[in-house]
Amino acid sequence: MDLAYYPGCTLKTRARNFEQSALAALAALGVNLVEMPRWNCCGTVYSLAEDDLVHHIAPVRNLALVKQAGQGKVVTLCAFCYNTLHRANLVMRDSPEKRTAITSFMDDVPAYAGEVQVAHLLQVLRDDIGWDKITARVRKPLKDVKIAAYYGCTLLRPQSAAIDSVERPTVLQDLVRALGGTAVDFPFATECCGAFQVVNNRDIVNERAKMIIGSAVRNGAGALAVSCPLCEYNLRQAQATLGQGNSGFTGLPLVYFTQLMALAFGLDPATCGFDQNSPQTQTWLRQQGLVS
Amino acid sequence: MNSANGSFTKRALVIGGGIAGIQAALDIADGGYEVILVERSPSIGGHMVQYAEVFPTLDCPQCILTPKMVEISQHPNVRLMTYAEVQAVSGSAGNFEVRILQKARRVDHAKCNGCGTCWQKCPQKVQSEYNAGMATRTAVYVPFPQAVPAKPVIDCDNCRYIHYQRFVAEKRPGKKPMECRICEKLCPVGAIDWEEKDRIVTERVGAIVLATGFDLMPIERIPEYAADPDVVNGIQFERLLSPGGPTAGVVKRPSDGRIPKEVVFISCCGSRDPEHGVPYCSRVCCMYLAKQALLYKHAVPDGQAYVFYIDTRSTGKGYEEFMQRVVTEGVLYLRGKVSKVSRDGDRLVVSGADTLSGKQVEIAADMVVLGMAIQPANGIKALLTRLGVAADDYGFVTESHHKFQPLETSVDGVYVAGAAQGPRDIPDSVAQGSGAAGKVLVLFSQGSREAVAAK
Amino acid sequence: MRIELSSRKLRSEFVRKVVEISGQDLMLCYQCGKCSAGCPMGSAMDILPNQVLRLVQLGLEEDLAQTKTVWLCASCLTCTARCPKGVDLSRVMEAIRVLTLRKNRNYVEPSRMPPDAIADLPQIALVSGFRKLTS
């Protein structure tokens, strides 16, 4: 199965591990992510101002290119990209006036009215591939590994973009179980890490990280499965700060869900790019026998 | 004094054996006419009999209601049909034909003397509807000690012998269930009748009163409040407070039986919430949550109760005074909604806000009580459709005129009383029951009606 | 200090613009506080999210300008998801921010950020941060 794929900027730079592990894991499932040519940055955030149409151009242009390539669906890995592309897509689909205005700014792509479906990889795994097929590909079940599924915000809010139940999602836990692991539920699974506030206010992000990680630890998690590169960065840098000195804060390994897939499929750990994960994560992987 | 097709029956049908239905039936019966009171559960009493104490007087509801329940059972003009459901209605005012399904009790009430041996010995445990899931009952059961009639029915979906019978009759594969029959073996008067069948009873009536009451919106409708054994709704908490309840009035939390020391009550769960629930106010929750907080304080003097509210609606007689009493007796009122309730170890973390002080607040609660929205009784929509009675988007019966015909429905001769028409407290439900009875008595004293095609 | 209310303030250009840019009917909000109850950034804010909306409802532009809350909003949309009245508070926050940013006033000055901080931050953080907090 070939799927049009929009990587976004971060997956080519600071989160190459996310993309690499995804490509490898999906290849093992017979799924080929075909990177769309000439993609541009989605803009990171979806503009929430009614009169700001200019910032919709970046995401919409990508979708128009997908349509131009004859594809009906585009898959993303980065949760931020997913949210921005998905919501911009709805504008083009549902608002004729805005569509006209945005279109007038783009003369290098064909007319676009929201025909393409924007999907996050977790949706594809659940709906198009199916857990049974994923379990069938597992060679090294994540036995005795307790993983807390951390969603963050952008996969679930607003309702119109949600890939699962806004308050009680299960898709990431279902994936963990399909890979043979034990999924740990914890109350901060859908709580915000602070997102872009890290630019100006690390203290609040560190406070959020402490609560999220602390809650996962109290509920028995050995590691946190993440799906957003900004969440991963925020939690990683917070843990590094919080773990300094005699704070007693231990933190948790942070692993992209695609890295968990690659490991469970018995693929070479080199496909996972673990050098970009935190040192704590790398230690944990060795301790668990997930990498040698 | 006949209608076009030659008959006018001065007999009434009351659908629903809660307080509004009971009052309507008694008034019509006292007015000299025969009343059939149909109640789908095994006993009359409705939700009121589930409560611990009622506001603002803090009367015991079983104590004040049972005399009326007994009166119903003994009134010469009342024919009580419990464990029965109205299936179909045709005709028009003065001349309705009603089909009632009398469900098989499989206990012959003519022989049964209510000794209780069968339900004391029945081995099968089922979630108790009366105790709102806070306790179990048996398959042969009387729903509560003051039930009218005080004689049991057999819940055929959960009876071991009936399972056995079906297993044999349908030649099902697998292990054969036990051929129990303990109730039958022990009954001193031979009242168990496995052969009894459901039967249809057809009656002619001239007027109908709909008094089908309410149920609470399920907690799952507000998913940010945890699906957790220690997060309960108001009726469940009443059972825990009730001296006749599963914990004999000792407030024990469901998860581990410990006495909760920090209890959070949350108002407006699903009500006043057009986005995720219903837009209307459920009218009684401010009062019953205040009452429950006060009763909790009486039961657990060193406990702390918190009530999260947006407004406090206390409009009835004595209500505001009661509310002020609760506020001054140590219950902390916090103005703001709760965003989320989640389990953390052996506590529940309640993330709320107090808009008056402008603070986010967090409470590590032992139990949380949700004031869930009031909805029409479960399963009533189908009945209303069959009757041709108009209802609003939420299933509440639509009155003919908001101000001047609050008890008439879209079908002439069919009246409504109580929570079936909208969220309502006990005094107003009883008053409406009497009001609907009045309407019936007017109709009967008029004694004739042109045959009107039911709308 | 007693706040002066008037129809002029309630119907001010500021209120009109917030309504227009957010696309929200501010009077739907009945100040239940559920947004504030669930806001992840609340502990760092000087006034709570419901209070921000209240100040706009009352047309109190100057009072609002003294506060930092809108700049601490992470656009997590928890408020929007849980609001019983369907008010998209995240859009109201954005509208208030945008009214300042469009006057070419930055909340964060990129030029004054330490270079090692900028180097450490992934571009997903920098771009989103600058989109939300600078002009």
ipTM for the assembly: 0.94
Which chains have 3+ CB pairs within 8 A of B? A, C
Q: One fold for both B11-103+199-213+377-446 and B217-374? A: yes
Whether A80 has its CB under 8 Å from any CB of chain C: the answer is yes
| CA–CA separation, B352 and B266 (whole Å) | 10
Going by C-alpha positions, the residue among B375, B62, B347, B29 that lies closest to residue B212 is: B375
In sequence order, the 6+-apart residues with CB closer than 8 A to the CB of B120 are none
Distance from CA of A188 to the nearest CA of B (A): 9
Locate the domains of chain C by residue range.
Answer: 7-103, 108-135
Looking at residues B196-201, what average pLDDT do you find?
Answer: 97
Q: Are C84 and B275 a contacting pair at CB < 8 A?
A: yes
Per-residue model confidence (pLDDT) at position C101: 96
Pairing of strands B214-216, B374-376: antiparallel
Cβ burial of B170 (10 Å; 0-12, 13-18, 19+) is exposed
C-alpha distance from B359 to closest chain C C-alpha (Å)? 7
Cβ within 8 Å, pair B337-C34: yes
Beta bridge mates, B153: B141
- Mention every residue, 6+ apart, whose C-beta is less than 8 A from residue A135: A178, A179, A180
> Taking the alpha carbons of A106, A112, A114, A119 in that order, is the dihedral positive or negative?
negative
Q: Above 90 in pLDDT, residue B31? A: yes
- Interchain contact, A45 vs C128, CB within 8 Å: yes
Q: Does domain A2-121 have CATH number 1.20.1050.140?
A: yes
Interface of C with A in 63-92 (CB under 8 A): 71-72, 74-78, 80-81, 88, 90-91
- Of B223, B344, B349, which has the smallest distance from its Cβ to A168's Cβ? B223
- B452 pLDDT more than 50: no
Number of helices (H), then strands (E), in chain A: 11, 8
In order of A88, B117, C54, the CA distances from A94 in angstroms are: 10, 67, 31
* A243-257, B28-42, B81-95, B379-393: the lowest-pLDDT one: A243-257
Burial class (CB in 10 A: 0-12, 13-18, 19+), B204: middle
Predicted confidence at residue B3, as pLDDT, reads 45
Distance from the Cα of B390 to chain C's closest Cα (Å) equals 27
pLDDT band at A51 (very low <50, low <70, confident <90, very high): very high
**Minimum mean pLDDT range among B329-343, B382-396, B441-455, C80-94:** B441-455
- Distance from CA of residue B116 to its chain's centroid? 24
Read off the pLDDT band of B1 (50, 70, 90).
very low
Q: Give domain B11-103+199-213+377-446's CATH architecture.
A: 3-Layer(bba) Sandwich (3.50)
Of A165, A187, A218, the CB nearest to B223: A165
The CATH-assigned architecture of domain C7-103 is Orthogonal Bundle (1.10)
Nearest residue of A to residue C45 by CA position?
A204
**Residue B255 identity (one-letter amino acid):** S
pLDDT tens digits along B290-305: 999 999 999 999 999 9
A159 touches chain B (CB under 8 A): no
Is residue B453 within 8 Å of residue B96, measured between CB atoms?
Answer: no
Asked if C36's CB is within 8 angstroms of B355's CB, the reply is yes
Q: What pLDDT is attached to residue B146?
A: 95
Q: Are B367 and B263 in contact (CB under 8 A)?
A: yes
The per-residue pLDDT for B453 is 46
Give contacts of C93 with chain A, Cβ < 8 Å: 48
Distance CA B288, CA B271 (A): 15
CATH architecture of B217-374: 3-Layer(bba) Sandwich (3.50)
Number of other CB atoms surrounding residue A198 within 10 Å: 28
Q: Note whether B343 contacts A165, CB cutoff 8 Å.
A: no
Facing residue for C131 by CB, picked from A13, A45, A158: A45
Is the pLDDT at B5 greater than 80? The verdict is no
Chain C residues 24-63 with CB within 8 Å of chain B = 30-39, 42-43, 47-48, 50-51
Return the CATH fold of A139-287. Rossmann fold (3.40.50)
Question: How distant is the Cα of A44 from the closest Cα of chain C, in angstroms?
Answer: 6
Task: Give pLDDT tens digits for B423-448.
Answer: 999 999 999 999 999 999 999 999 88
Q: Is the pLDDT of residue A56 over 70?
A: yes
C22 touches chain B (CB under 8 A): no
Q: A76 pLDDT exceeds 70?
A: yes
> In this model, does residue A217 exceed pLDDT 70?
yes
Residue C46: the pLDDT is 96
Which of B197, B166, B165 is CA-nearest to residue B181?
A: B165
- SS3 of residue B189 by DSSP: coil
Summary mean pLDDT of chain B = 95
Q: What are phi and psi of B204, to 5 degrees?
A: -105, 130
* pLDDT, average across residues C36-44: 97
Q: ω into residue B42 within 30 of 0, thus cis? A: no
Write down the domain spans for chain B: 11-103+199-213+377-446, 117-186, 217-374
The pLDDT value given to residue B454? 44
pTM for this entry: 0.94
Contact criterion met (CB < 8 Å) for A187 and B340 = yes
Per-residue pLDDT at B6: 63
Name chain B contacts of C78, Cβ cutoff 8 Å. 339
- pLDDT above 60 (res B455): no
Q: Where are the domains of chain A?
A: 2-121, 139-287
User: In the structure, what pLDDT confidence band is assigned to residue A190 with cuts at 50, 70 and 90?
Assistant: very high
Contacts of B268 in chain C (CB under 8 A): 32, 84
Question: Quick one: average pLDDT of B263-268?
Answer: 98
| pLDDT score for B450 | 59
As a whole number of angstroms, the distance between CA B11 and CA B3 comes to 15
